[in-house]
Each structure stands twice: as C-alpha cells, then as structure tokens.
Structure 1
C-alpha cells in the first residue's frame, strides 16, 4: 500500500504540474514550492493547515500558544495557495511555507531543518511521510478539531496504511463523541472531545468585528441578504429570487474572484442595480442606490456578516458547504445546498431550525420567503443560531490545558 501511496503522490504532482501551464492556482502551487528556502528554527512549534479555512479554524490555538509563550518560534505550512498567498505574511508566525510534497526525502529534510518540538495539524490533513518522520523522532503530533465518519478510508478494509498514519499521532482533539468511538473501533484510544476551535474563532470575531464603512454605507439601514463563498450553481439559483424581494439589498462574495468568474456572475444579475466592490474603491462611486454588491476581493467575508440579516452559504452543490459559523456567530439564519452531511455544525443548525438546506429553485424560494418575509421566524432562528455558537466555545482552552 505504501508503494501505491508513493505512486499516487507523484502522479498528483505531475497532474498539478501539467495544469500549471493553464491554471493560475496550480501555477502558484508549483512555483511556490520550487522557490522557497526553508530556514532552521530549532525548537519551534509547527502548525500545518490545508488552506485558509483550516487556518482560521486552528487560529485560536495558534494565537493562544503565541500569547502564552512569545519566545517560542512558530512555523506555519499550507498545502493550498489559497491559504499561503493570503497568510504568508501573518505576524502570528516566524516563517510560513508551502508544505513540500509528501515524499520520504522531503519529509526528512523539512523536519530535520525546522526541528519542531511539537506539530499541530488541523482537521483533515494526514500525510504518511511527515507523520512517520515525526513519529520516528518522537516529536509530539496533535490533531485539533478532528472529525471522523464511517465512510472515511481509515475505517475501510483497505485502509491499513491510513490507519497506520493515525496511530502515529500523539493525541486527537475531536469535535464529537462519535469520532472518539470510531477511533476506538480501530484501537486508537488517544482521543478526547474538545469541540471545534472554529467556534472560538467566530465568536471572538463577532464580538470585535472589523468595521467596514463602505458596507455600512451600502446597507443604508436596509435589510441585507449576504451570499458567501458562492459557486456558479449557487449564483444561478440566487439570481432567480432577487426580484422577489425588492426591499432587500444583496451582497454576493464568490468563492473564486478571477475576472472571468466575476464577469459571468455580472451577466446573470440586473446590471442597472449591481456594483462591484472594486468599482467603489477605485472610483468612489455613490452606492446607496445600488441593490446588489459583488465582493471581488478576498478577506472581507467574516466581517461582512455583521451587516446582514440572512445568509446563504455556498458550496453545497459541490464537494460540501463552506463556513456556516461565521454567519451564525452574528445571528444570521443560513441557507445552503444539499451536500452538508459531513459538517456537524450544519446538521446541528438544521436540527435547530435555524438553517435550511435546499436542492432546487422552488425550495430556495420557500426558504427565502420564510426567512426574509416572516420577521417573527427570522428572529427565532437568529436567537437559536447565535446561542448555538456561544454554547460551543471553549475548545481552545481544553486543548491548551491538555497539551500543557
């Protein structure tokens, strides 16, 4: 199985390399790894994140450790350009790198260079050679905000290699009791329920949000529907309901903001009432009369939700929905597509009737009419979802206490 894993890793590299000739993200993935110089940081704590979302999820632990021991160096690695390019200059780290491809040589060289005293991986990332090298060097490896499901490869008859990766970890801080029980089924008893550190992050953000004067001007004391991290199928559906609610304003923040994507989005929206955020900042156009605002930059979404009343979270018609908790922390009831079962918080929110999953245009109409027209129900859902976030904070303290 290890041979197949190694072959798969190299085939993945070849696929990304081929894509880099016509795909900007793949080009950054290749170029970033080939140009970086990794410096010695002996005694550091190494944090690894798949992408930007995982960074925000693990950020409370990172900030707490930084505050607790300012003298300890912090090294951060990212797998994806969407995390590295945005956080490569974060003051929370002494060094930020792309994670080199998971080969035995790369893992040995990287770990022997940075010489971590502990490694902390967030949620999903499992790399055999890096885990093995940490294990061989007796370096503690912690998984935070982990969550496991029966359908994952760890619990399949053919998942022996992946089970061996888990057994190299020192401790798992997982989101729920079901994950603890699944790990016990494969003889891993080093897991405790700490909860999800994202709750700590979004709650802190909601209590001290960054003010956005331009967005406040756009809102102009009107009700705002915010669609975050949307994909084309989400946007096609949303474009059909905008005219049903003429007294609402709309903010759409696409997951990808390349010019081609933004132009396609503009094509399906009413041109006379739509404006791009870059148009405002570049030309300082008046915006109070515009009804639809397209956010064509990255980094604003978590602060945008403070100006909304209802949110739509994208990704549910693809691999899975994006972050519902950022909106939930501000008390916004949420709507999202059908692919949400892998996300515990989304299942909880639906159970609380503070979130609605939709699969087609008709269901979207029903959901938006309920949350946008029925002010009593919207108030009920808002209280429920905000209380849910508040009740689930505290994972960071539990993790720090256990790590010691």
Structure 2
C-alpha cells in the first residue's frame, strides 16, 4: 500500500505544483512561498559550511508556521540544556513562520522545507542528516517523511490532533494517511480522545497523550516579569483591566464599557495589536473623545498615575502585563480569530473575548469551563466588567478556573524530552538506524 500511494502521490504532485504556480500569479502570499525556496539549496549549503559538520546528535523540527513553532520552542529549550552541542534545524512551510523565526535562538539552522519532490527530499535530508525528526501537529509531506525514515531518522509526531470529522478519516483519504502515520515511530497526541482515534483508526501502537508544550512555555514565561517591574508600584492595590492585542472594533466597545463601570480604584491598560503611529494617533483621538486622560509607555512621565489609561505603544510587554491585571480582555474575537488567551489565563485571572474563536481550542474550552466569558456587543462587555469589578468572589472564581486550566495541562515538554533522552539523543554518537 505504501508503494501504491507513493506512486499516486508523485504522479499527481506535479499537477498540484503547476496549479500552485498559476495561483501564485494572482496571490502574493503564494508567490512569496515559492520565491522563498528559489535559492534554498544554495543558501542551505552556504549555511551548513559555516557550521561544524561533526555535530551529533542532529535534531530536525518541522513546523508549518509560527503557531506550530511555538509548540516546539519549549522542547528545543529543554533539550538544549541536556545537549548544548547538538545540531538543531527548524524548517517551515510558510513565509510568515520563516520570516518571524529565522533568527530564533537555540537553533543552528532555520530554513524553508523544499518542495516535496523525491529528488528534493533526498538532497535535503542528505544535507541535514537528522537523527530525529519531530513534526509538530500536522503538515505531512510524504517524500520528506519517507526519505528521513529511509536515511535512518527516528520520526516523532507531536501535539497531534484527530477530530472525529477530520478529513484524514474519510474513505480513500484514510488509506493514504495510514501510510503517512505508520511512518512515525512515536505519536504524542494533544488529548486522550485524539490518542484513542489514532489507535482505532490507523492501528498505531506507540501513541501517548503528550499535551501541548505551549502550556509549559506560558508557565515558564509567566515567571519573568522584569519588563513591567517599574509599573508594579502604580497598580498595586488596584483593579486593573488589561486589553491585549486589541483592534479598533474591540476598543470601540472597551472604552465606553469601562467608562460606565469605572470606580475610583479601577485602571485600564490598552495594548493595541497594531502600534504603527497612525493607529496610536487614532486611539488617542478615541480616548480624548471618550473623556479619558492617558499616557504612552514610550513617553511615560515621572508624574504618571494609574488613574490614567496607559497605552502600550511598544512591543514585548503584553505577556508580562497580564501579571498586573485583575481582568483580561483579549482582542481578535470580533475579527478573524481571538488572539493568545493562555498568556492571560496563566495568571489566574478571568478572560473576556469576542465570539470568533473557532480556530482556538483553548478559547472554546476556557469559555465552556467558566474561566472565560464570550461577549457579543458593548452591552455584554459592560455587564461582565461590572460583575468582575464589583463582585470579587465571582472574579476570583472565574480566574481560578482559568489558572487551573493552564496548570493542569503542563508537562508535555517533559514527556517529549524524556523520549528523546531515552533514544540517547543527548550523546555525541549518531543515533541512526
């Protein structure tokens, strides 16, 4: 069956590639994806020449984009502590992932994954010479997986999900993905339900619930509050609403809702998603019209008091700012999708966001448990803010649920790390089959 599907895949892949090239004439993002790979092998060869060639073990991590890489980051950091001299390569499918993380610390090499032809796969894997490939969540390219296995690498699928209605489970497609999934030596799933479906649907034996390493990352990051240390004195003893990654539509509801419930000891910190000058000027106009006084973090005065709204017009503050919050509002829920909810929930505070959460499992689960509240309009937001600002018991109860949600899901990094170390992936000798 593997040979059959490999033949079918490589027969139709050139047709797929031709369609992608035609589409790239009209879609800049697709064109950028292809253009980024134009000199891939020449660039890779130049980069590898600058690195020691005897580095072992050799770990290759593939992530489709930024989100999947964020799942891998705590694994890479933890592994580095055990194998500081190891070679760690990260590949991306997307332009956004590569551009955002091409200078990532703890890695020796970051590059695009080549177009998935047999020749490219053979050349690429021969250059990387991985002992282990960890594929995060999804993004399965048959030729590269086959070649990695053929050249002796151990294959691990981490943070794997398999919904009951997944395309992988449809007739015919299921047969193809059975070939894909049986290439992996180990599968770490996100949940027990995912593990059950992988075993039952594809006959996989070495499947274990691993969880999501991002939970470990947000816990680790929550311990670092140096960036906001100078602000703590201003907000001690106050009830603080931090609106993180807010867009104009979020702010159009936040400002009047907060104004209507604000008491003497209540504070607002706004962290707009877009910090370009024109957006900050627009936000300042909105604050003036709503009757707020404010200051910006970039020009904070010595006389600043927390009675004023604080605008964060610089990057790098948000995750730590939630440590000052009593309540968090997360933007994006009235746009494409809500932004990161875990960065706030880790501090044990109630979380509020709009209804567009279909791409965020944790946003759905937090709301179902009571650790988060979904609002649909300004009236909803005003009501929940009034409740949380005036009812300490309700605020703490919701916050405790949010904090517990994160705490109970940590440990994925340790499970994956233990498996790597059991393979001998902290020793200098090659681990190839």
The interval holding the TM-score normalised by the smaller chain is: 0.7 to 0.9
Question: What displacement does 1:386 show?
Answer: 1.7
1:201 matches 2:206: no
Who is 2:163 aligned against? 149
1:123 matches 2:137: yes
> Counterparts of 1:27 and 1:386 in 2: how far apart (Å)?
42
Paired residues, number = 397
Per mean C-alpha deviation after superposition, the further-off stretch among 74-83 and 3-12 is: 3-12
> Counterparts of 2:133 and 2:348 in 1: how far apart (Å)?
34
Task: Work out whether residues 261 and 382 of structure 2, in 8 Å CA contact, stay in contact via their aligned partners in 1.
Answer: no
Q: 1:29 to 1:306 in 2, by over 3 A?
A: farther
Task: Work out whether residues 66 and 92 of structure 1, in 8 Å CA contact, stay in contact via their aligned partners in 2.
Answer: yes
> Counterparts of 1:298 and 1:342 in 2: how far apart (Å)?
24
> Counterparts of 1:249 and 1:90 in 2: how far apart (Å)?
35
SS in 1 for 2:401: helix
Higher relative contact order (CA 8 A, sep 6+): 2
Who is 1:336 aligned against? 353
Who is 1:62 aligned against? 76
Q: 1:257 to 1:208 in 2, by over 3 A?
A: closer
Q: 1:86 to 1:304 in 2, by over 3 A?
A: farther
Summarize deviations over 1:160-183 as a string: whole Å, max 9, x none. 444543333322211211101222
Who is 1:386 aligned against? 403
Summarize deviations over 1:318-348 as a string: whole Å, max 9, x none. 5543322221111121112334355443344
Q: 1:291 to 1:67 in 2, by over 3 A?
A: same
Q: 1:289 to 1:250 in 2, by over 3 A?
A: closer
CA RMSD of aligned residues (A): 3.4
Per mean C-alpha deviation after superposition, the further-off stretch among 104-113 and 176-185 is: 104-113
Who is 1:324 aligned against? 341
Q: How does 1:126-275 map to 2 (within 5 A)?
A: 126-157=140-171, 159-160=173-174, 161-189=176-204, 190-213=206-229, 215-216=231-232, 219=235, 222-247=238-263, 248-257=266-275, 268-270=286-288, 273-275=293-295
Who is 1:345 aligned against? 362
Question: What displacement does 1:353 show?
Answer: 1.5
Question: What displacement does 1:92 show?
Answer: 0.7
Question: What displacement does 1:193 show?
Answer: 0.6
SS in 2 for 1:306: helix
SS in 2 for 1:192: strand
> Counterparts of 1:143 and 1:106 in 2: how far apart (Å)?
22
> Counterparts of 1:262 and 1:363 in 2: how far apart (Å)?
26
1:87 matches 2:101: yes
Q: How does 1:276-291 map to 2 (within 5 A)?
A: 276-277=296-297, 279-280=298-299, 287-288=304-305, 291=308
Question: What displacement does 1:219 show?
Answer: 4.3
Summarize deviations over 1:193-218 as a string: whole Å, max 9, x none. 12221221111222333432454476
Pick the aligned partner of 2:60 from 46, 54, 64: 46
Summarize deviations over 1:239-289 as a string: whole Å, max 9, x none. 442322434333333445555655665565446635554x428xx686436
Q: 1:387 to 1:118 in 2, by over 3 A?
A: same
SS in 2 for 1:241: helix
Task: Work out whether residues 267 and 306 of structure 2, in 8 Å CA contact, stay in contact via their aligned partners in 1.
Answer: no
TM-score in terms of structure 1 length: 0.83
Per mean C-alpha deviation after superposition, the further-off stretch among 187-196 and 127-136 is: 127-136
Gapped runs of 5+ residues in structure 1?
none
SS in 2 for 1:143: strand
SS in 1 for 2:202: coil
Task: Work out whether residues 280 and 287 of structure 1, in 8 Å CA contact, stay in contact via their aligned partners in 2.
Answer: no
SS in 1 for 2:227: coil
